[in-house]
Amino acid sequence: MGARAKPVVGIQPELLRWARLSANMTAGEVADKFKKHAEEIEGWERGEGGPSYAQLERLAYEIYKRPLAIFFLPTPPDEPKVRTEFRSLPDADLSALHRHTFLLIRKGYAFQASLDELYRGRNPTDRPLWREITLTTGQSISAQAERARGLLGVSLNQVRAEPDDDSALKLWRRAIEAHGIFVFKDSFKQQDISGFCLRHAEFPVILINNSTTKTRQTFSLLHELAHLLFNRNGISRFDDAGIEELSPQDRTIEVFCNSIAAEILVPARDFAVAVRELNVDPRQASDEEFAILARRYHVSRSVILRRFLDQGRVTKAFYLEKDREWSNQRAAGGGGGDYYNTHGAYLSERSLRDVVASYSQRTITKSEAAEMIGVKPKNFSTFQDLVLRGAA
């Protein structure tokens, strides 16, 4: 029987505990990955024994997704704490966030650091959207939504001219990026989370869940935009469950963000005309009638139903029942396809284009460029080709 590997010398036990908690994992969950008891992991975190070098590598790279060197720091680095930075979920939902969701949030902060480096600390947009408009619950929803839509420069005619929901999503995404907010996508393992946003003085970021329909992504994009125009971080679920558990102030803002997103996408004035032309009663309407209205704006049937709810034409109970029915029918969006095209779609189109431009001008190295977009240097040339061909 071989000798037991010795614990690595110089690890700070406090760093082991911090890394685990920042990944939202219990000692038992970590122990399961090593086929150990939780008490041994807790012992490591108290300085009793410790992981071998191979175990530390696995903790760093596979489980906690951290650089190995971080475990030798004297104290944990100063990072934003998810539980204090996000107020748009009740405590029970924050506690239920998966490890993968925590890692995606950390990835969002890493994107902001890369953007700060790429653009040398200053947003490349002359007039960023959040400096042109600040949302408030004390003013008209329709007036604020109209102003936001006008600043974005997206008209209803443009939306209707798009051939499909994916094209409409790209239209909104490019308009938002043109106004200084960087939009990324990823495949969330926690399917009930639709996206989140991270505020920043220069580089606010939105990250939306690509594992759902394009119409759902569009609503999530506009909902998170509303959060940023409130100057707050946000993390959103697919449904309204949990809103009633928020504080009165946070509940008001969440409901307001939903209403702003719906009004930007489906303006009440135009919606009234469309409903009149179709002569539809939402309490008796067929799924196809809801679909006709949804196609007019490239949104989901649930967004159309939300407009009826906002107008008081259906009850909250009716809305929740119908939305649940449609959720059960909803197929997951996207998936498969070419890796590079898919990964390219995950990245902020504007930042990817500017990273490639900076590399072409030799202001950054290939390694730096690859790190900024989160790929290995050997794969960077493929993403460069995507940009040059206009495919990203």
For residue 231, the model assigns a pLDDT of 92
What are the tens digits of pLDDT across the range 48-79?
A: 999 999 999 999 888 988 888 888 888 988 87
pLDDT band of residue 324 (cuts 50, 70, 90) is: confident
Task: Please check whether residue 83 lies inside any domain of the structure.
Answer: no
Specify the higher pLDDT residue, 376 or 64. Answer: 64
Do residues 181 and 204 lie in contact, with contact meaning Cβ atoms separated by under 8 Å?
yes
Across 259-273, 299-313, 337-351, least confident range: 337-351
Mark whether 112 and 238 lie in a shared domain. yes
- DSSP structure class, residue 373: H
Task: Please check whether residue 5 lies inside any domain of the structure.
Answer: no
- Please, which residues have CB within 8 angstroms of residue 378's CB and are 6 or more apart in sequence? none
Mark whether 123 and 205 lie in a shared domain. yes
Alpha-carbon distances of 269 from 142, 272, 328, rounded to whole Å: 9, 5, 31
Mark whether 343 and 304 lie in a shared domain. no
- Give the range of the structural domain holding residue 120, as residue numbers without chain letter: 91-265
Residue 334 has pLDDT above 90, yes or no: no
For residue 3, the model assigns a pLDDT of 54
| The pair of three-digit structure tokens given for residue 11, joined into one six-digit string | 């690890």
pLDDT band of residue 92 (cuts 50, 70, 90) is: low
Mark whether 135 and 150 lie in a shared domain. yes
| The pair of three-digit structure tokens given for residue 324, joined into one six-digit string | 């649940």
Mark whether 246 and 128 lie in a shared domain. yes
Pairing of strands 182-186, 193-198: unpaired
Q: Residue 246 half-sphere exposure, CB side, CA atoms within 13 Å?
A: 18
Task: Please check whether residue 207 lies inside any domain of the structure.
Answer: yes
Residue 285 has pLDDT above 60, yes or no: yes
Mark whether 113 and 232 lie in a shared domain. yes
- Please, which residues have CB within 8 angstroms of residue 220's CB and are 6 or more apart in sequence? 194, 195, 208, 209, 236
Rounded Cα gap, residues 134 and 221, in angstroms:
17
Of the candidates 295, 298, 293, 357, the residue with the CA atom closest to the CA atom of residue 170? 298
Mark whether 99 and 237 lie in a shared domain. yes
Residue 95 has pLDDT above 80, yes or no: no
Task: Please check whether residue 334 lies inside any domain of the structure.
Answer: no
Mark whether 260 and 278 lie in a shared domain. no
Task: Please check whether residue 8 lies inside any domain of the structure.
Answer: no
Percent of the chain with pLDDT over 70: 91
Query: What average pLDDT score do residues 118-144 get?
Result: 96
pLDDT band of residue 335 (cuts 50, 70, 90) is: very low
Residue 331 has pLDDT above 60, yes or no: no
Mark whether 135 and 257 lie in a shared domain. yes
Task: Please check whether residue 3 lies inside any domain of the structure.
Answer: no
Q: Give how far the C-alpha of residue 294 lies from the chain's centroid of Cα atoms, to the nearest Å.
A: 23
Q: Of 236, 265, 294, which residue is a domain's last?
A: 265
pLDDT band of residue 294 (cuts 50, 70, 90) is: very high
Task: Please check whether residue 85 lies inside any domain of the structure.
Answer: no
Mark whether 246 and 307 lie in a shared domain. no
Mark whether 184 and 199 lie in a shared domain. yes
Task: Please check whether residue 193 lies inside any domain of the structure.
Answer: yes
Specify the higher pLDDT residue, 345 or 48. Answer: 48
355-356-360 Cα angle (round to 5)? 120
Indicate the pTM of the whole model: 0.84
Rounded Cα gap, residues 73 and 76, in angstroms:
7
Tell me, what CATH number does 45's domain have?
1.10.260.40
What are the tens digits of pLDDT across the range 32-51?
A: 999 999 999 999 999 999 99
**Count of domains forming the chain:** 4
Residue 1 has pLDDT above 70, yes or no: no
Mark whether 49 and 104 lie in a shared domain. no
Query: What average pLDDT score do residues 226-235 get?
Result: 93
